[in-house]
Structure formats: structure tokens, C-alpha cells
Chain A
């Protein structure tokens, strides 16, 4: 992609959140899941969101996607308030949300289909994106016939085909084994350098956040507030070897301290102030 093209695309995808609160539940059960959150994300930036389980990361991402309404504050994308879901703001979840009754190709072609694009053209677009995520040979398979990592790649393709301004990802690699996860992280960075779009990436995994992000937003336990925004200085393109550098270790220790975890104790995913820690680590 040429510099000028990148320039044109990176004009879009700015997020501004000012004093955003989100209430969940009804009546007496209602509570504030996200409280007075303010941040700004530049077009084309890759920002990771970390915080203890139940602190409202998914809720905040759902609000950006337009699935969940905010209860106070201002949540704008490119100057316009978020009102309902839109293909410009694509979201990828941890658990497979591919339509099992459609082939990989037709899953990816779903967005173009909703926009009224004809069968031949939308399949061509789907094949192009599947090629980008390295699944050209698996276009005709049903989700059940694909591995977990392949399914996640189809999910990403299904969102990218809409050329979104925002790519929202909710622990997209959380269910994958360690090796596949690293491959997927590299693939994501590779795609992101070619298709510059703003990425907001929720994760439990501090290593993952440090490897991927330009900046990391660290949230507090429920009700979710922003504890700190950390700039990640590593040059790109990044190689997995940065994990071994002293700076990496230092930043990681800092994150762990923010999350009230000493670096020599159990992994973050096991620790939850709300007690949701029974065996669902990872």
C-alpha cells in the first residue's frame, strides 16, 4: 500500500470518549459497569484494553460497537455519536460467532450481501480477503471443518471485508493454544500494516498487549475506570524476541503492579476480584 493511500485511510477511525458511563441490568439490579471513562484514540492506532475480569472491557467494546447504550457522557467516532451497530465498526469475539450454516466464503460475503452486492462480486471480495488471512484454500469449508485458529481468521476476514474504520476485538485469541496465538498476533500486525484501521483489542494477556499495542489502557476492577494509559515504545515491525528485552520486563512489571498482581504469583487470568476465577483461565 502506498504512503498516500495509507494517509487517506488513516483520516478515519478517530474515537473520542468523554466521561462515558455505562449502566447494566434493570431496576434494583442495575449497576455501573463502566464509570466516567475518558480517552481518545487516533486513526490507525492499535490500542489494547486490559483489566481484571468483570471490569467492563467487553461492555466498553460493546458500546463502541453500538450493541450497548451508554448512560452518560459522549462517545464519538469521527465526530458522530455512536448510535447502534454499523459495518464501519466491525467486532470480533472470543467465541465463534461464524454462522455454522454458511461456508467460510459465504460467512465473509455476509456483509457485502447485506449491502446488496451481487453474488459474483461479493464472493470475489470474500475470496480476496480470505487470501489476505491465508485461507484461500479453505473458502468452501463450513466452520465446523476449520480449526479454532482458522475460524478466528475467518471472523477477522468477515469484518475486514466491510473496510471498517474500527476493528474491535474482544479477546479474539483467548481460546487458542499458545503457538497459534502467537501466529495470530503476527498475522494481525501484518494485516494491520497493510489495511490501516483503528484497532481496539481487549485481552487478559499482558504479553499480548505489550506485543501488539501502541498504547495500553489499564482499567480498574468494577466499576471500570481508567487507571493508566501506557505508551508502548517498541519499534515496528516487532518480532517476538522483544519479549526478552529488559524494557519489556519493566513494562510488564508495571502493568502487573497496576493490576495488584505480583509478578511471581499466578497468571493474571486466574485472579479476579469478583471470584470468577474457577478454572476459566486463558
Chain B
């Protein structure tokens, strides 16, 4: 007991986190291995080692990279569409009472519709291929970005506005130098959630409406009963999603709103 504690102490906080995380994953992989051996079926649950070998094959023939690229392009396409519309709209609505009254009820009605329910319309309007996936990822990312940016814009304090006006700020300067930065922490939170949502939605869209990408790859592999490939697709999605969201977090602390996290 005391020996273990001194081991954790000696590697520091970051080391401890990495060590514990690795142990957790190792335990998970052992359970997986045992389970797959007792099931003894490559279709129901192939062991991690087989999945790893499948990784090797898919990386070697370049098909994994292709699918990853297709999905990432769609995620960022939809994410860009969503953020470039949601942020200005949200700030405008936070600023204008009339616009808010006009648009908010509409948003409240559309928001509960899950992205997947838009797929039939998207296919009808745009056919199969890339466009419906952009549309679906954009829908998925839009609402978290919009709602957070709106909350950020609405939380602008009267005192900040009055102070800025007394210091000589024009209305435009007010929007740019006071409203935008004061909403920024919440906007970034929205972007982070929106990116996660877009990443989940792209797989959904590709399962149904696309002919490439990780979702498509999972779907085809399922039809071919190549469960190891399905697991490759799933784990890649998990890994890449975690990395992206982590990167946004770093970007947020270092570049976008460092004042929010003083050292």
C-alpha cells in the first residue's frame, strides 16, 4: 500500500494520470481478450490482436487513410458551415430584441429534431454522396454552437457596455471589441461541443447516405460480416474524436481565451 503510493508520488501528477489511464485500458483489453476467447467467434467479437492486425492491413493498403480523410473533410465542412452561420446569428439575436422575438420560437421548434431525422430530406434534396453529409454534420453542430454563442452574447454586462461607451466606443466598436470577446469563452465551448456532435453525426450520415468515409466502411464491413473491420472503424472514430476535442481545448487555453485561464 505505502509502496504503491510512493511509486505514484515519484512520477508526479501527469505521470500518475497517464499511468492510471494505461492501466485502465490494459484491464479493458484483457477483459475483451478473455471474452472473445470464450465466445470463440470472429464475427461476434474478434480479439484485440486480430483487430490490431486488421489495422495493419488497412493502413498498409491505404484504405483506412482514405476513409479517415473523407470523414474528416465532411466533419470540418459541416462544422465550418455551422459555426460561420451560428455565431453571427446568435450574437445578432443577443443584440436585437426584435430579431430575437422573430427567430427564437423557430429555433425552439427545430432544435429537438435529431440530425438523423433530416437524412431522408437531405437525400431527396441532394442525392447520395458528399452534400447530405455536410448538411447533416452542419445541422448537428449548429445548435450547440448557436445556443452557447447566444448565451455568451446575452451575458454581456450593462456595466461593460456603459464603461466602453463612456470611453468613446461606437456601436460597431462595441460589437467587435466588447460583445465578441466577452462572448468568446462560451463561443469556444459551443465550438467544442459542436465539433463532437458533428463527428458523431458524420458517421450516422455515412452509414446511410454516403459512399466513402468511416461510417460507410463500418456499414460495408458489417454486411460482409468483417467484424474486425467494424471495430477498426469504431476505435478510429473514438481516437480521432478524443484527439480533436483535446486539441480544441489546448487551442482555447493557449490562443483564444488565455485570459480566462490565468496562470
The CA of A86 and the CA of B167, in the complex, are separated in Å by 7
- Least CB distance, B8 to chain A, in whole angstroms: 32
**Is A8 an interface position by the 8 A CB rule?**
no
Tell me whether B28 is interfacial, beta carbon within 8 Å.
no
Whether B162 is near chain A, meaning CB under 8 Å from some CB there, is yes
The residues in B between 123 and 170 inclusive whose CB is less than 8 angstroms from any CB of A are 157, 159-160, 162-170
Which of A84, A97, A115 interacts with B163 by CB under 8 Å? A97
Q: Among A14-22, A98-106, A245-253, A268-276, which stretch is in contact with chain B?
A: A98-106
CB of A90 within 8 A of chain B? yes
- Please determine whether B168 and A86 come into contact, CB atoms closer than 8 angstroms: yes
* Interface magnitude class on chain A: 20 to 34
* Closest residue on chain B to residue A91 by CB atoms: B166
User: What 0/1 pattern do residues 157 to 186 of B give for CB contact below 8 A with A?
Assistant: 101101111111110010001100110100
Q: Is A145 an interface residue (CB 8 A)?
A: yes
Instruction: Answer yes or no: A158 CB below 8 A from chain B CBs.
Output: yes
CA A113 – CA B182 in complex, angstroms? Answer: 18
B24 at the interface (CB under 8 A from A): no
| Docked CA distance A59–B165 (Å) | 17
Complex contact B167–A158 (CB within 8 A): yes
With an 8 A cutoff between CB atoms, is B262 at the interface?
yes
Assess the B160–A97 pair: CB atoms within 8 A.
yes
Contact indicator A115/B168 (Cβ below 8 Å):
yes
Does A144 make an interface contact (CB < 8 A)? yes
Q: Is A181 an interface residue (CB 8 A)?
A: no
Q: Are A97 and B162 in contact (CB under 8 A)?
A: yes
Q: Which of A85, A99, A103, A145 contacts B166 (CB 8 A)?
A: A85
Q: Does B58 contact A (CB under 8 A)?
A: no
Question: Does B220 reach chain A (CB closer than 8 Å)?
Answer: no
Across-interface contacts of A65 in B (CB, < 8 A): 162, 166
Which residues of chain B come closer than 8 Å to A162, judged between CB atoms? 167-168
Q: How far is the CA of A65 from the CA of B169 in the complex (A)?
A: 14
> Which among B159, B166, B170, B184 is the interface contact of A87 at CB below 8 angstroms?
B166
Of A103, A114, A159, the most chain B CB neighbours within 10 A belong to: A114
Give Cα distance in the complex from A142 to B181, angstroms. 14
On whether the beta carbons of B165 and A101 are closer than 8 Å, the reply is: no
Given A110, A115, A159, which contacts B164 in the complex, CB threshold below 8 Å? Answer: A110
Q: Which residue of B lies closest to A68 (CB)?
A: B162
Complex CA distance for A159 and B168, rounded to whole angstroms:
11
| B-contact 0/1 string along A72-114, CB 8 Å cutoff | 0000000000001111011101010101111100000011011
Residue of B162, B163, B169, B182 contacting most chain A CB atoms (<10 Å):
B163
Contacts A114-B173, A144-B262; is A99 near B165 (CB within 8 Å)?
A: no
Q: Which partner residue on chain B sits nearest A164 by CB separation?
A: B166
Tell me if B259 and A102 are in contact (CB < 8 A). yes
Q: Which of B163, B164, B173, B262 touches A93 (beta carbons < 8 Å)? A: B163
- A110 adjacent to B159 (CB under 8 Å): no
Contact of B259 among A66, A89, A100 (CB under 8 A): A100
**Interface of B, helix, strand, loop or mixed by DSSP:** helix
Task: Encode contact with A along B166-210: 1 for CB under 8 Å, 0 otherwise.
Answer: 111110010001100110100000000000000000000000000
Which A residues are in CB contact (< 8 Å) with B165?
67, 84-85
A115 to B169, CA, bound (A): 9
- Chain B min CB distance to A169 (Å): 12
Inside 8 A of B166's CB, which chain A residues have their CB? 65-67, 85-87, 89-91, 159
CB–CB B162/A85 < 8 A: yes
The answer to the question of B245 belonging to the interface, with a C-beta cut-off of 8 Å to chain A, is: no
B51 within 8 A of A: no
Contact A101 B162 (CB under 8 A): no
CA distance A9 to B18 in the complex (A): 65
Give residues 4-52 of B contacting A (CB, 8 Å).
none
In whole Å, how far is A174's beta carbon from the nearest beta carbon of chain B? 14
Q: Which residue on B lies nearest to A111, using beta carbons?
A: B167
For the complex, what is the distance from the CA of A114 to the CA of B174, rounded to whole Å? Answer: 10
Q: Which residues of B contact A142 (CB under 8 A)?
A: 259, 262
CB-defined interface of B238-263 with A at 8 Å, one 1/0 digit per residue? 00000000000000000001011010
CA of A50 to CA of B157 in the docked complex: distance in angstroms? 26
A residues near B181, Cβ cutoff 8 Å:
99, 101
Of B157, B159, B166, most buried by chain A (CB within 10 Å of CB) is B166
- Assess A114 versus B182: contact at CB under 8 Å? Given A91-B162, A97-B162: no
Interface string of A113-139 (1 = CB under 8 A from B): 111000000000000000000000000
23 contacts between A and B (CB under 8 A): A65-B162, A67-B162, A67-B165, A84-B165, A85-B162, A87-B167, A91-B166, A93-B159, A97-B157, A97-B159, A99-B164, A100-B182, A100-B260, A101-B182, A101-B259, A103-B259, A110-B164, A110-B177, A115-B168, A142-B259, A142-B262, A144-B259, A159-B167
**Told that A86-B168, A144-B262 touch, could you supply 8 new A-B pairs with CB distance under 8 A?**
A85-B162, A91-B162, A93-B163, A97-B159, A101-B181, A110-B164, A110-B167, A115-B168
